Amino acid sequence: MSRSEVIHGNGTKSEEMRARYAKFIGRKVLFISILLILLILLMGFSATLGSARLDFVEVYCSILHNFFPGSFDAGWLAKTVVWKIRLPRIIMAVVAGTGLAIAGAVMQSILRNPLASPYTLGISSAASFGASLAIVAGVGIVGGEYLIVINAFLFAMLASLLIYGLSKRRNASPETMILAGIALMYLFSAMTSLLQYFGESEAVKEVVFWMMGSLGRASWRSTGIISAVILICTPYLILKAWDLNAIGAGDETAKSLGVNVDRVRIICMFIASLMTASIVCFTGTIGFIGLVCPHMVRMAIGGDHRFLLPASSVLGGFVLLAADSAARTVIAPVILPVGILTAFMGVPFFAYLLIRERRGYW
Amino acid sequence: MKLSIKGVGFSYADTPVLENINLEVDGSELLGIVGPNGAGKTTLLKCMNLILRPGAGNILLDGKEIEKIQRQELAKILGYVPQHSPKAFPTTVFDLILLGRRPYVKWGINENDIKKVTEVMKLLKIEDFALRYFDELSGGERQKVLIARALAQEPDILLLDEPTSNLDLKHQLEVMEIIKNLARKGGISVIMAIHDLNLASRYSDRIVMLKDGTICAAGEPNSLLTSESIRSVYGVEAVVVNNLERPYIVPIKSVDRM
């Protein structure tokens, strides 16, 4: 900085500050925009992947056929594969990734803990137990596949209610919630193991498959349900961005800034649990995304929730879709469970980021 | 803005921490709250802006009970700087100070918010590290950033919990000068809990001595800080040097309280 700037600094400094801040925000918006474009490109590319050997033109003619039936047409096989199998699966990957990443980001923020995620807080293991119970004890008796989904959902919500109940009896402090969540995770894992120990081998196999997480069960109906939950919950969470920012600075500071900390924490926890539950009950447990995507975004553009939440959601959708696309193609026609691929692809990349990161936090 | 504390008491579970506290602060004033560890200084500050709810008594702002004021509105009147902040995800200094605008913003940031943040940064001479990360700063710089955040709230009353703990000599004085100027020229009432009796003596307009949750003495530093009062509140024998502008305390040794 030159001497004249220091001396006549008053006006220029504040102008300069404004310009620097605008640039600072601009970078975040650019980051989200680029991610969004990449996600859309990946969706387009992913539609052409798969064991049914359809070429690019066939795929896009099938997609466009639904919008402009007069101008585009494709074979029956292409239309069926694209509209019944690939598109629901692609959209499921995007919305599930979106929801898991946002839920993870919110849980980490309200608990001020980098390890918080649907996985570590017992919500995923509760869903697993619910599904296992349905598979081992009840499938085919009533409801068929929906019994599994509903059971998984109910147990996931039960876990979040238990965490809520436990922490309500004390104060809703982050430490209480995390300890309650981890304790529940062990409890539900143990109960799932018990079911597996006594279950029929066929059922146990199915339980194991369920727990690996897969998008293979995606349909327009399940995609629609998840999308609806996410479209309702996400705007609310983004609207609460300032409250989440304030809680990040500490409960006392947040209170002194006018935030009703306990209420925000409990509502946000409930919404994040609801999003997680409605996703994992259809997909099975998909770890990693909720834990790591928010950290990747924080490393890239910082922790301001006005940008962290949208960016995490787009990145979550991107990572899950990329992993699922790989899961469908690496050893096609065998489709690997996507839960395995997210970890295989994500962990090395995340390890690289951790090593490269120079800030003291990570 | 006039802050009146009337008969306030507070207990953690069954342990009483504050009992029958009466205090009034009005206009430009720097009030120091001193007292031994556990005397209730921090608890009293936290009661003043409803981080804790007093179990007894009333706290009034211009005659209105603070319990009846919305938190959001309260945050425009009272700024608070805690003694400790928990470990947090990395945040830039600018974003952290911008948080002080939380009571005013809906979602987007407008020109005025950025102007206010820039102003307080200039006031505290911290513009140069606006886009640095808070956790990379030194203790003194961090304290200034936290004070800046509270000032971005445009408060009438500033509550500070041990603003100089963990600061080196130079930063202690810098921070205290800033605080004094806020009270003198900024028209803000500053209430600070502080351990260092000499800093309290030098900068406070008025001092309140807390002991075992009650106010045992209050007044101007010159009349309040005597060997007798220090012995009875702290259980410390001290020499008070009185030929300076303000009393200067030289502690000698610990003794039984009288």
Pick the residue from chain A with its C-alpha nearest to B110: A18
Size of interface A-B (CB pairs under 8 A): 119
The count of structural domains within chain B is 2
Question: Could you say which of B154, B178, B203 is where a domain stops?
Answer: B154
Q: Are residues B111 and B238 in the same domain?
A: no
DSSP summary character for residue B176: H
Q: Which of A28, A253, A358 to mutate to test the interface with B (most CBs of B within 10 A)?
A: A253
Q: Are residues B19 and B134 in the same domain?
A: no
**What's residue A1's pLDDT?**
35
Q: At what angle do helices A220-239 and A87-110 cross, to 10 degrees?
A: 30
**CA dihedral (A287, A290, A295, A301) positive or negative:** positive
CA distances from A358 to A284, B31, B77, B155 (A): 36, 42, 39, 37
Q: Do B16 and B213 meet the contact criterion of CB atoms below 8 Å apart?
A: yes
Q: How far apart are CA A106 and CA B27, in angstroms?
A: 41
CA–CA min distance B254, chain A (Å): 34
Which strands sit side by side in the sheet containing B2-12, from one edge to the other?
Answer: B15-26, B2-12, B56-61, B64-65
Element (H, E) at B221: helix B221-224
Is the N-terminal amide bond of A333 cis, ω within 30° of 0? Answer: yes
Q: What range does the domain containing B87 cover?
A: 83-154
Q: Are the Cβ atoms of A239 and B107 closer than 8 angstroms?
A: yes
Could you give the 3-state DSSP secondary structure of residue B136?
Answer: helix
Q: Are residues B160 and B129 in the same domain?
A: no
Q: Which residues of A touch B96 (CB under 8 A)?
A: 249
Of A92, A112, A91, A51, nearest to A254 by C-alpha is A112
**What's residue A143's pLDDT?**
57
Q: How far apart are CA A298 and CA A282, in angstroms?
A: 29
Of A49, A30, A32, A29, nearest to A322 by C-alpha is A49
Q: At what angle do helices A123-133 and A145-169 cross, to 10 degrees?
A: 140
Q: Are the Cβ atoms of B91 and A246 closer than 8 angstroms?
A: no
Q: How far apart are CA B35 and CA B176, in angstroms?
A: 19
Q: How far apart are CA B206 and CA B230, in angstroms?
A: 16
Element (H, E) at B74: helix B71-74
**What's residue A360's pLDDT?**
66
Q: Tell me which residue in B96, B135, B159 faces A249 most closely, judged by beta carbons.
A: B96
Q: Are the Cβ atoms of A249 and B87 closer than 8 angstroms?
A: no
Q: Are residues B20 and B148 in the same domain?
A: no
Q: Are residues B173 and B191 in the same domain?
A: yes
Q: Do A175 and A157 meet the contact criterion of CB atoms below 8 Å apart?
A: no
Q: Tell me which residue in B51, B87, B95 faces A256 most closely, judged by beta carbons.
A: B51
Q: Which two tokens stand for residue B183?
A: 């009270």
Q: Tell me which residue in A24, A114, A302 faces B91 most closely, judged by beta carbons.
A: A302
Q: How far apart are CA B246 and CA A117, in angstroms?
A: 55
Q: Are residues B45 and B166 in the same domain?
A: yes
Question: Could you say which of B99, B123, B154 is where a domain stops?
Answer: B154
Query: How many CB atoms neighbour CB A110 within 10 A?
Result: 25
CA–CA min distance B177, chain A (Å): 21
Q: Are residues B149 and B209 in the same domain?
A: no
**What's residue B257's pLDDT?**
62
Q: Furthest-apart CA pair in chain A: how many Å?
A: 83
Q: Are residues B24 and B97 in the same domain?
A: no
Q: Tell me which residue in A241, A249, A256 faces B88 most closely, judged by beta carbons.
A: A249
Regions of chain B short of the pLDDT cut 70: 257-258
DSSP summary character for residue B132: S
Q: Do B227 and B240 meet the contact criterion of CB atoms below 8 Å apart?
A: yes
Regions of chain A short of the pLDDT cut 50: 1-9, 140-141
Secondary structure in 3-state letters for chain A: CCHHHHHCHHHHHHHHHHHHHHHHHHHHHHHHHHHHHHHHHHHHHHCCCCCCCCCHHHHHHHHHHHHCCCCCCCCHHHHHHHHHHHHHHHHHHHHHHHHHHHHHHHHHHHCCCCCCCCCCCCHHHHHHHHHHHHHHHHCCCCCCHHHHHHHHHHHHHHHHHHHHHHHHHCCCCHHHHHHHHHHHHHHHHHHHHHHHHHCCHHHHHHHHHHHHCCCCCCCHHHHHHHHHHHHHHHHHHHHCHHHHHHHHCCHHHHHHCCCCHHHHHHHHHHHHHHHHHHHHHHHCCCCCHHHHHHHHHHHHHCCCHHHHHHHHHHHHHHHHHHHHHHHHHCCCCCCCCHHHHHHHHHHHHHHHHHHHCCCCCC
Q: Do A167 and A126 meet the contact criterion of CB atoms below 8 Å apart?
A: no
CA–CA min distance B72, chain A (Å): 4
Q: How far apart are CA B138 and CA B193, in angstroms?
A: 22
Q: Which residues of B touch A28 (CB under 8 A)?
A: none
Q: Which residues of B touch A359 (CB under 8 A)?
A: 90, 133, 135-136
Could you give the 3-state DSSP secondary structure of residue B48?
Answer: helix
Q: Are residues B130 and B242 in the same domain?
A: no
CA distances from A269 to A130, A161, A238, A309, B170 (A): 20, 10, 14, 15, 44
Pick the residue from chain B with its C-alpha nearest to A248: B88
Q: Are residues B52 and B133 in the same domain?
A: no
Q: Tell me which residue in B131, B135, B153 faces A24 most closely, judged by beta carbons.
A: B131
Q: Which residues of A touch B103 (CB under 8 A)?
A: 257-258
**What's residue A12's pLDDT?**
60
Q: Tell me which residue in A14, A250, A298 faces B82 most closely, judged by beta carbons.
A: A250
Q: How far apart are CA A349 and CA B66, in angstroms?
A: 51
CATH of the domain at B242: 3.40.50.300
Interface of A with B (CB under 8 A): 10, 13-14, 17-18, 20-21, 24, 108-109, 112, 114, 239, 241-243, 245-246, 248-253, 255-260, 298, 302-304, 306, 359-361
Q: Are residues B62 and B179 in the same domain?
A: yes
pLDDT tens readout for residues A68-80? 887 777 788 888 8
Q: Which residues of A touch B99 (CB under 8 A)?
A: 242, 245-246, 249, 253, 257
Q: How far apart are CA A47 and CA A91, in angstroms?
A: 10
Residue matched to tokens 């803000």: B188
Q: Are residues B141 and B173 in the same domain?
A: no
Q: How far apart are CA B75 and CA B63, in angstroms?
A: 17
CA–CA min distance A201, chain B (Å): 46
What chain A holds in terms of domains, given with CATH numbers, is: 97-356 (1.10.3470.10)
pLDDT tens readout for residues B198-211? 999 999 999 999 99
Residue matched to tokens 């923020």: A109
**CA dihedral (B73, B78, B79, B81) positive or negative:** negative
Q: Are the Cβ atoms of A245 and B102 closer than 8 angstroms?
A: yes
Question: Could you say which of B110, B131, B154 is where a domain stops?
Answer: B154
Q: Are the Cβ atoms of B79 and A112 closer than 8 angstroms?
A: no
Q: Which residues of B touch A260 (CB under 8 A)?
A: 71
Q: Tell me which residue in B72, B99, B119 faces A245 most closely, judged by beta carbons.
A: B99
Encoded amino acid at A46, one letter: S
